[in-house]
Structure 1
Amino acid sequence: MPEPITTVGIGAIAAYLGKDGLQKLLGPTADYLGGELQEFTKKRIENVGKIFSKAEEKLGENIDSPGHVPPKVLKTIINEGSYCDDEVAVDYFGGILASSRTDLGRDDRGARIAKILDGMSTYQIRSHYVIYSLIKKVFSESGYMYNQDDRHKMQLFIPMNIYIASMQFDEKEMQQFGGIINHALFGLNSDDLIEGFQYGPLEQIKKHFVDASSDGIIVAPSAFGAELYLWGHGKGNQDLSYALNAKELTDLQDVPLYLDGVSATDNEHNKSRQQDASEAGASA
């Protein structure tokens, strides 16, 4: 007689984690798992296992400190995240789970963040990751804050070929590229995950950024977009400006991120970077 799906499911998820991983990660909330997994297919269970593994990885040594995940957060991540197998979405759900593990019993903010993530398409999630990762790389040493005064200074120009390379579109997706980028950027903007954008051919982009050398995207970050980026990295309790911490927020290995032609549209920032590079070369 086959084992009930609850027993099989919990065992399959536990296999993705280290010793006593489920109990360490979830705390007492692990007792809720049986009922949640009762109707799950094998594929959904595998996806949950990957999300839990990502959460454990992001917690690092902190997984051995006291803490638990609120049941409401666990329910949302299991029900919504179990349908996601895209690597960026899995990583984000894992980060939200890791961010939600605290010693504050009623801190269930992660449930709302997970719902927002579930409402985004794969293209929107990956576009969000690419945009904020490039912003992090360009402005990590700027001293900027994610406040109202500095956010507009972090407006970025991304050449279209760089965006396409990071999105890893296949041939069929490229045939629908216009509709996909329209969907991705307008969707992020309508959800306040970016603070305005432009995209198009070189002549159009030059009207907004004269130093552009190719067709591309001009995009500005938002406070909410930075918050989602932090939660996706398992750092949801950090100040928003931590989203520029290139040393601590590591990039996904399987998502290419290139800086060729990527540039701040704020000329003052570009002058500062050029001066820093010149001084570094002189000291060498």
Structure 2
Amino acid sequence: MPEPIITVGLGAIAAYLGKDGVAKILGPTADYLGGELQEFTKKRINNVGKIFQKAEYKLGKKIEQPGVVPSKVLKAIINEGSYSEDAIAVEYFGGVLASSRSELSRDDRGARIAKTLDNLSCYQLRCHYLIYSTVSNIYKSKGSSFNQHNDRRKLEIFMPLNEFVVAMGITQKEWNNPQLLSHIFTGLNSDDLIADNWAFGPIEALKSMSHSEAITEPGIVCTPTAKGAELFLWGFGYGSHELDYIFSDEFNSVIDGMPQIIEKASATKT
């Protein structure tokens, strides 16, 4: 029996802090807490609705074909995705939902993908999108592959720091946090969404690791992984395709308002 989806009631917390105290701590996020034990608030319902809209769009004509989304996947999408207001998260959750619809009722891989997605902060998810969309565009139609370890090592990219900050939409107040870049890249690496050989900093530090002439200014060097490519494909509704579909001309990773490639990013293993 699926476990219930539980939202902590505002009344239970307010008994300790008072409603004003809850609002002061959470700010607008307090809207997610229902009056008592309501399973959903209006915001959570709206978030799930947006995810389903994305899934419907990504399925296109395939929605008319027979198919089923496993209940385990649905639970993960609703439990994790219903709290996601970030546009990229909605896009990815919608893609996972669309990718999970098939005639194979036991294919519940999407539940694990959804949990990986939920584990990422908005900074890490945006960076994941930018890295893999950049890799896709730089190496498109060049015979590149994710299938072998040595092939993946050749997919290393360099991203100039200034252009990365602009693409990430990082404000000065956010940039003042000295842990931000470490949070982003340590987190992606610990979840195996980028390989161990990553670094950010001045030219000399990057070249000591990468030994690439493409590095001409302070920036970031990183290498994609098979797991990172898998998440990227699922996030756009292509969970049934091979990893190298990322390099296909048919692959579409457009998100409204998001750059598809970091300016001046380049391959380092040419």
Asked if TM exceeds 0.5, the reply is: yes
Q: Which one-letter code corresponds to 2:135 in the other structure?
A: I
Identity %: 50
Contact 1:206 1:212 in 2 (8 A): yes
Once the two structures are TM-superposed, the CA of residue 246 in structure 1 deviates from its matched residue by 4.4
The 2-side partners of 1:154 and 1:246 are apart by: 18
Q: Deviations over 1:100-147 (max 9, x none)?
A: 000111111101110111111111111111000000000011111112
Which of the numbers 212, 216, 228 marks the counterpart of 1:225?
Answer: 228
Residues 1:248 and 2:227 are matched in the alignment: no
What is the TM-score of this pair, normalised by structure 2? 0.81
Equivalent residues, number: 230
**Partner SS, residue 112 of structure 1:** helix
**Partner SS, residue 115 of structure 2:** helix
Listed as ranges, the gaps of 5+ residues in structure 2 are 1-37
The 1-side partners of 2:261 and 2:226 are apart by: 24
Contact 2:73 2:108 in 1 (8 A): yes
Once the two structures are TM-superposed, the CA of residue 258 in structure 1 deviates from its matched residue by 4.0
Contact 1:162 1:258 in 2 (8 A): no
Match of 1:21 in 2: none
RMSD: 1.6
What is the TM-score of this pair, normalised by structure 1? 0.78
Q: Deviations over 1:3-55 (max 9, x none)?
A: xxxxxxxxxxxxxxxxxxxxxxxxxxxxxxxxxxx610000011001100111
C-alpha change, 1:129 and 1:259, in structure 2 (3 Å) is closer
Contact 1:165 1:256 in 2 (8 A): no
Contact 2:66 2:103 in 1 (8 A): yes
Once the two structures are TM-superposed, the CA of residue 259 in structure 1 deviates from its matched residue by 4.7
Contact 2:214 2:266 in 1 (8 A): no
Matches within 5 A, 1:1-284: 39-148=39-148, 149-176=150-177, 178-196=178-196, 197-207=198-208, 208=210, 209-267=212-270
Contact 2:167 2:262 in 1 (8 A): no
Of the structure 1 ranges 214-223 and 164-173, higher mean CA displacement relative to structure 2 is found in 164-173
**Partner SS, residue 102 of structure 2:** coil
Q: Deviations over 1:146-170 (max 9, x none)?
A: 1223111111011112211221112
Contact 2:203 2:218 in 1 (8 A): yes
Contact 2:158 2:220 in 1 (8 A): yes
The 1-side partners of 2:54 and 2:44 are apart by: 15
**Partner SS, residue 50 of structure 2:** helix
The 2-side partners of 1:63 and 1:250 are apart by: 20
**Partner SS, residue 199 of structure 2:** strand
The 1-side partners of 2:182 and 2:112 are apart by: 25
Contact 2:99 2:238 in 1 (8 A): yes
Contact 1:166 1:257 in 2 (8 A): no
Contact 1:73 1:97 in 2 (8 A): yes
Q: Which one-letter code corresponds to 1:265 in the other structure?
A: T
Once the two structures are TM-superposed, the CA of residue 217 in structure 1 deviates from its matched residue by 0.8
The 2-side partners of 1:188 and 1:239 are apart by: 22
Once the two structures are TM-superposed, the CA of residue 252 in structure 1 deviates from its matched residue by 0.9
The 1-side partners of 2:45 and 2:245 are apart by: 33
The 2-side partners of 1:175 and 1:198 are apart by: 19
C-alpha change, 1:246 and 1:262, in structure 2 (3 Å) is farther
